[in-house]
Amino acid sequence: MTAHETAIAGVFPQPREEQWRKLVDRALKGASFETLVSRAYGAVAVAPIYPRAAAAPKTLRRTPGRWSILGRVDYAPPEPANRLALDDLEGGADGLHLVFAGSQGAWGGGLVDDDEAALTKVFDNIRLDYGIPVIIEASPRAPRAASTVIRLLDSQHIDPSITRIAFGLDPLGLQALHGFAAGPWPEVAKAFAAQAKEILRAGFSIGAVAADARVVHAAGGSETQELAFALSAAVAYLRALADHGVDIETARSSISFRLAADADEFLGVAKFRAIRRLWARVEEACGLTPKPTLISAETAWRMMSRRDPWNNILRGTLATFSAAVGGADTVTVLPFTLPLGVPDPFARRLARDTQLVLQDESHIEAVDDPAAGSGGFEALTQALCEEAWAAFQKIEATGGLAAALEKGVFQGEVAEIAGLRAKNIARAKEKITGANQFPDIAEKPLDVLAPAAASNDAFAPPAEGLKTPPLAPRRLAEPFERLRDLSDAMLAKTAQRPKVFLANIGPVAAFTTRANFAKNFFEAGGVEAVFGPEAETTAQILEAFRASGAKLACLCSTDLIYVDAAESLALALKGAGSELYLAGRPGDLEETLRKAGVAEFIYAGCDMHNVLQRALEAAG
């Protein structure tokens, strides 16, 4: 039975696309339909409507049903790390995600010791023989982690084949992050293959190797670049294993993928579906019958904010939903206070509960590949597959991922996309709540177990080796957070933040919209907005300005009122010593208003970050 055959479909006839387009054209009033089509960073277009999709292969998890909820083990002292891990497991997590300092997912934290004494404490009272999933992140600062875990299990007489430990060897991902390799790829590939064979000989059956593309996402890259990087890394690892004596079936079964999940639901779902289809194409090219591989998701570092971090909970929920619907096997939610430092038990609990609610109350795992057949998701999945495959072929044409990293070609392409993204954030075209939108200038500090330490992620490479340009992770909110830090420094030094006086002209109905816009605009940079009165005379506004103690002033009203009153008020405020702004586009008044003393015009789409930077300098 189809929807058209049901009773409800008879009551509510299904509209045809041409009927919908007529209504849309009427609403657009002559504007192009293309204004409704958004574009991702790359060529992928997101349309407002899609036709029903034809039948397509489903993208299934390695194990159908519930995905595994993982708790991060990222606190350096082993005993507290163990207590937090046990709390996670007792609180609903299915497994653990061990993060070492210097790994792709360290983000300023991580375990620092990889010897047997330390890891014995970390795993104390954790029953690895029960088959709980454990992901271990490779790190140049923890070169002994894999061999230590193997010895630890051997000392406890645990058969590795009954465990679900994924070691995730990933030399190319670490090279991309740190800008360093031990030597040319043939040498690194040989050492990598030897370590992978040690893990496989010990009896570990999944995830010995990880094609981990989170570094691309964290550096500002596009979904296409993230997929191409993961696919190229996986192919490089497959070749290295096959070239060093591992049969192709075992080699492909040992490879897993790790991707970042962000708050872009549509492209997020499509990305996780796409990586399975892309890998299946590689398997077919190798003469193998495709089978689901292990795909791990982690909510994205770049989307998190240090200011008003409560918004990170909402972002993490959207990201989890996208990864789960897209078919991730394991999901790690970054606790919402992670940008501030090592998360406390409360933040970790919310990270678990985000997933538990989606599983136990929303049941989004109940349907395998729920996006299958959806016109929009199928089209986006196919578009990402085509773009990523073309990008993958381009990487292969340069000699593979190792060569592309050595030449800096791939890093340059990521930097280009990251630059476009940074411009859009600076202009608030890409909005970050709590940063460039709706800031909370009076937010209260939150507790963490230890402050963030960027030095934990740093890795000083040995003198010898191959140096390549690194992909530097950055959170998108950082430029605005640095402005807020300058404001905090002024507050600490003078007991006052820099202020802007909102010189409201006319009745409340006239100035409210732009005054509220100006308040959010300036406070995104840490400049406190002081509302002026609903005054009838310039003298009253000047009196209020002087009483505010502000060095900056911003005229707020309608365009019509600006024609009659903006010039005279601007001259008066400039004469009173103000650095002057006006909310709105000046239009034909620009020359007049600039002569009257208006230095900057603030409006949606202006270079918000630069304006705020100059405002802080003027107020300092």
DSSP per-residue codes, 469-530: -------TTHHHHHHHHHHHHHHHHHSS--EEEEEEBS-HHHHHHHHHHHHHHHHTTT-EEE
- Distance (Å, whole) CA 574 – CA 568: 10
Show the tokens assigned to 609.
């970050």
- pLDDT value for 447: 93
Burial class of residue 54 (count of CB atoms within 10 Å of its CB; 0-12, 13-18, 19+): exposed
- Distance (Å, whole) CA 417 – CA 219: 9
- pLDDT value for 23: 86
Closest CA to 151 of 198, 197, 83: 198
3-state secondary structure 138-167: CCCCCCCHHHHHHHHHHHCCCCHHHCEEEC
Fold assignment, 68-423: TIM Barrel (3.20.20)
Q: Are 301 and 473 in contact (CB under 8 A)?
A: yes
CATH class of 479-619: alpha beta
- pLDDT value for 457: 65
240-261 residues labelled b (16+ CB within 10 A) or e (exposed):
bbbebebeeeebbbbbbbbbbb
Closest CA to 365 of 64, 71, 93, 92: 64
Q: Which residues of the chain have pLDDT under 50?
A: 1-4
- pLDDT value for 275: 97
Kindly report the backbone phi and psi dihedral angles of residue 430, in degrees, each rounded to the nearest multiple of 5, phi listed first: -105, 115
- Distance (Å, whole) CA 35 – CA 39: 10
- Distance (Å, whole) CA 520 – CA 11: 47
CATH 3.20.20.240 positions along the chain are 68-423
Alpha helical stretches, state H, 33-133: 78-90, 116-122
Q: Are 164 and 62 in contact (CB under 8 A)?
A: no
- pLDDT value for 3: 44
pTM of the model: 0.93
Show the tokens assigned to 106.
């360290």
CATH 3.40.50.280 positions along the chain are 479-619
